[in-house]
Amino acid sequence: MRQFLKYTLASLTGSVLFLLLLGLLASLGAVGLAGLLVANLAKAGSGSTVEKNSILVYDLATPIPDSPATASSGILGFTSAPGPLGLRQAVLAIEAAATDPHIAGLYLKGSNAPMGAGLANQQDLHQAIAQFKASGKPILAYDLSWSEQEYYLASLADTVYLNPFGDLEMNGLYAEVMYQAEALEKLGIGVQVTRVGQYKSAVEPFTRTTMSPEERQQTQRLVQDLWQLLQAGIVQPRSLQPQQLQTIANTQGLLFGAEAKTQKLVDEIAYEDEVITALRQITEETNDEKTTPAKELSSFRQISLSRYAQVSQDDWVRRRAKHQIALVYAEGPIIDGDSSDGFGQQTVIAGNSLAQQLRQIRQDEDTKAVVLRVNSPGGSATAAEVILREVQLIQAAGKPVVVSMGDVAASGGYWIATTADAIVAQPSTITGSIGVFSLFLNWQDLGNKVGVNWDGVKTAELADIFSTSRPKTPQELSILQKAVDTIYGAFLDRVETGRKLPRTKVAELAQGRVWSGQTGLTLGLVDELGGLNQAIAKAAQLAELGDDWHLQEYPQPSDWQRFLRLFRSQPNDTPTSQQGVVAEVARLLSHQLTLLKTFNDPRGLYMRLPFSIQMD
């Protein structure tokens, strides 16, 4: 109890001091002072050195989204876990460590927290880790329980460890959709939809109780493509055959302890302290229990990937060149309107805000090319068109635009990419979903059940077409279907023109169907396979800049975000794991509420992925 009180009081003291600091910043001119503090602290940190014979530790639970790390959305308690580490920062740090004489090896540390990077971003990281391995420096990987996504990166290690009481999951991928039509009917909530696209199944969870044949077909193909990509990434460094993994997935699913070693997926069965002993040998630290304090023996000379990313250099950003390539991040569902600034990390693509950013970049004479990094399942059709218009104006100004696709660039996410000069995607990128839908709920039956009624007046027959108090009439649905048909036709126009494909072929591969990036390449939806840096190099080539350019990332973090991020970056940052049934339920509810908030198109027209895919 005394320990509890001590830590509680320490936490409260830190919180009070931080609030006092915020008050001081506000009274003295917060933004300016925060900027000054950021500059001074960053300057002090730029001279940081890495101890000789250190191990670079990549905790696989570290969040690695597309965009650079921003401050936590919370103000208090922000040091409990590291802030997100941008994909380029993570990749550059691993690549830099390969040639850094102070880095002796790489440790891939698994945990019981979810994998922090999506599959497409993992492919960028996979390539960087392979490059590190080519340097000849050792890579060690350890976990109590390896998941397939963790093991995809861990399989590159020279030595893969597994706890004696641990297991390795190898049971394939599973995609599941929750269907709510029956529940909505029982509640008295009416659902009406208009859509175009045989495979545009985003509305099906609200109208069906099972998968439609079209949905089952496209989802099966997608997970099969992703499963084959995972298999290929695992078997090559381990000198195995894909059929071996498939057999394990079909007959065993989980390999326990020594069984994983027998199947050659694991090299050593060991406890974590034994792995630490092996790491101390690499760092040339003594393991003599007689002369070394027990506290030192339980650790090793190390630097986290988050911390190392701060001290490593980004040559493309630091180049002294007048010409600029703008890297613009478009990450999250697409919504209509503007985004709020605040302290939190931006998790949506606000149409007006992104359009304004692109407009400023177009008007910047020093910017000669743009890379638009898209990681979005789509959303508002209106907002997507607002964004695409600015992309086209950039191209009309003579500046090439290259789209780099992340984990997903589908539906509205693909709409904003259609006219790019080049589209670069990872094989595992989820793309396509060229279709449109609108979804209308009404509360009439629910109101009747609980004694709630609606009444009103109007000046025209269709004045209440968007009312939620009653179902739409056949005439109203016909009008709304016409709007969906018009947007779908415009979508096909943009794909036909932008990708230079025959209309008949566009109509065939559209229909709301989703594809992997690998298949998208064969269909002409994607021009090249590769990661973010490849897209940047492509933009420099199209703009004929040679090496006379530097990179500038947008949106740039505010002084507040950079200020708070400095406090989140701790020397030994370790991601916290959320476990258990309560945490899982909370995650699902939070996701559903967040999803509902993104449906704000003024005409109720959406271009969105059929569902939010989470592979297990």
- Please write the tens of the pLDDT for every residue from 229-282: 999 999 999 999 999 999 999 999 999 999 999 999 999 999 999 999 999 999
Q: What is the pLDDT of residue 313?
A: 84
Q: Where are the alpha helices (DSSP H) in 283-380?
A: 294-297, 305-311, 315-318, 351-363
Amino acid at 272: E
Which residues are tagged catalytic?
A: 200, 411
**Alpha carbon distance 409, 404 (integer Å):** 9
3-state SS assignment for residue 143: strand
Is residue 554 a contact partner of residue 452, using CB atoms and an 8 Å limit?
Answer: no
CATH 3.90.226.10 maps onto the chain at 48-171+252-313, 319-438+456-558+586-608
For the chain, helix (H) and strand (E) counts, in that order, are 24, 21
Amino acid at 223: V
Q: What is the pLDDT of residue 578?
A: 45
Interhelix angle for 213-238 vs 119-134, to 10°? Answer: 10
Amino acid at 331: E
Residues of the chain with pLDDT under 50: 1-22, 24-26, 28, 30-31, 33-34, 36-47, 69-82, 341-345, 567-579, 581-582, 584-585, 615
**Cis, peptide link before residue 82, omega less than 30° from 0:** no
What are the Cα distances from residue 422, in Å, to 308, 330, 578, 591? 33, 16, 40, 32
What is the CATH architecture assignment of 48-171+252-313? Alpha-Beta Complex (3.90)
State the pairing for strand pair 436-442/190-196: antiparallel
Q: Where are the alpha helices (DSSP H) in 422-579?
A: 444-450, 474-499, 503-509, 517-523, 532-542, 559-568
Is residue 273 a contact partner of residue 289, using CB atoms and an 8 Å limit?
Answer: no
**Alpha carbon distance 486, 472 (integer Å):** 20
Q: What is the pLDDT of residue 147?
A: 92
Q: What is the pLDDT of residue 229?
A: 93
The whole-model pTM stands at: 0.83
In terms of Cα–Cα distance, which of 422, 349, 353 is closest to 608?
Answer: 349
Residue 481 region by backbone torsions, left for phi larger than 0, else alpha for psi between -120 and 50, else beta: alpha
Q: What is the pLDDT of residue 83?
A: 52
State the pairing for strand pair 514-516/430-432: antiparallel
Q: What is the pLDDT of residue 111?
A: 83
Q: What number of other Cβ atoms are within 10 A of residue 171's Cβ?
A: 15
What are the Cα distances from residue 553, in Å, to 95, 123, 362? 20, 21, 14
What are the Cα distances from residue 175, in Å, to 13, 115, 150, 356, 489? 46, 17, 18, 37, 30
Q: 223: which residues sit within 8 A by CB, 6+ positions away?
A: 173, 174, 175, 615
**Alpha carbon distance 435, 512 (integer Å):** 4
Domain 319-438+456-558+586-608, CATH among 3.10.105.10, 3.40.50.720, 1.10.3720.10, 3.90.226.10: 3.90.226.10
